[in-house]
Amino acid sequence: MRIAFAGTPPFAATALQALISAGHEITLVLTQPDRPSGRGLKLKASPVKEVALAHGIPVLSPLTLSVKKSPEEAQTALAALEATESDVLIVAAYGLILPMRALEAAKGIGVNKDIKSINLHASILPRWRGAAPIQRAIQSGDAETGVTLMKMELGLDTGPMIELVTTPITEDDTAETLTTRLSQLGADAIVDALTRADRLTYTAQPEEGVVYAEKILKSESPVNWNASADEVCRCIRAFNPFPSATAQRNGETFKIWFARVCDGKGAPGEVLCSKKKLVIACGDKAIECTRLQKAGKPAMDVGPFLQSFPISEGEILA
C-alpha cells in the first residue's frame, strides 16, 4: 500500500518503522523541522526524520501547513503530498495542524473508500483529546489507557474511531515507559488494521466523557507538597522524563525521578527522614524518594545523592 506519513517524536517513529517493516511503500514523510538539542544546541532531526532518511524516504519539514500563515511553504508541502497519490495518510503526534486539503489528499481506504487519513492517538477517546494524553492519564490516576485509530477531521481529536487497543497503567509506569508501550501497541494496531484496509469501518466517539489533555509546561515541575502523597507520586511519574518533578532546598533546585507513597506525618514539604533514605511529608501521608538528581550531576540513587547533597530532618522543602 502507498502511505504518506506525518509524525515527529519516538511514538511516531515506532509506527513509521513498523509500516516500513510490513512492506508498505512510504511515499512521503512530513515531520517538524530540526530543533536545537543538547548543551551545544546543535540542530537535531526528529526521530521520524531519522527513520525516513535511513530508508531513503523523501522528507518535508514545513514550519506550518497553513496557507494563510505561509502561502508558499504550505502550498509546496500540500502539493507534494497530493502528488504522491497515496492510498492513505497516517498521522502520529505530528505537532502541526493539518488543513482539510491534507486530510483529503489520499485516495482513501475502508468499506466506502472514505478513510483518507488516520490518526494514532495515545488515549481511549474521547478521554484525553489533545497534546499530552499519556502524561495526563498518569497524573490523573487513570487505571488504563490505550491507542485509538481515528478517522481524521478538522476538530481536535474529534474524528470517528476505527479501532482501539488498551493497556493498564501500572503503579511503576512513568511517561517514558508508558509511551514506549503505547508506541508499540499503536504500531501493531495500524499494521494490523491495514491488512483489512478494504473492510475498515468507523463509529462516532461517545458524546460523554470528553476530557482535554493540556500541553505539559515546565512551570508544572515544582512539587506541590500540599497535595496528597498519591498525587505527588503520580506527578513525579507523569513528568518523567519531561519536564521532571523538582523541589528546592535553600534556593537550590533538585529533581525527583522516582518516589513511592509511605506513612508519615508532618508539615507539607517537611523532611521526616534523611538518613539512608529521604522521606518528605505531603498534605496527606509522605513520599520516599528513591532516585534524585542535583543540578549539573547525573541522576543517582538516594544514598549517594544524600552524601553529595546533605539534607537535614526537619527542613521544609519548597
Where along the chain do its domains lie? 2-213, 218-308
CATH class in words for 218-308 = alpha beta
What pLDDT is stored for residue 216 in this prediction?
A: 97
What pLDDT is stored for residue 40 in this prediction?
A: 76
pLDDT digits (tens, 9 = 90+) for 210-230: 999 999 999 999 999 999 999
pLDDT digits (tens, 9 = 90+) for 159-217: 999 999 999 999 999 999 999 999 999 999 999 999 999 999 999 999 999 999 999 99
What pLDDT is stored for residue 41 in this prediction?
A: 80
For 223-250, the DSSP string reads --TTSBHHHHHHHHHHTTTTT-EEEEET
All 3 cell numbers of residue 100? Answer: 482539510
Q: Place domain 2-213 in its CATH homologous superfamily.
A: Formyl transferase, N-terminal domain (3.40.50.170)
What pLDDT is stored for residue 128 in this prediction?
A: 98
All 3 cell numbers of residue 180? Answer: 514506549
In angstroms and rounded to an integer, the radius of gyration of the C-alpha atoms of the chain is 22
Q: Which helix (H) or strand (E) holds 213?
A: strand 212-213
All 3 cell numbers of residue 212? Answer: 482535554
Q: Which residue numbers in the chain have pLDDT < 50?
A: none
Length of the chain: 318
What pLDDT is stored for residue 314 in this prediction?
A: 96
Q: Could you tell me which residues come within 8 angstroms of residue 18 by beta carbon, excluding any fewer than 6 positions away? A: 187, 188, 190, 191
All 3 cell numbers of residue 12? Answer: 511516531
What pLDDT is stored for residue 91 in this prediction?
A: 98
What pLDDT is stored for residue 42 in this prediction?
A: 86
* Neighbouring C-beta atoms of residue 206, cutoff 10 Å: 11
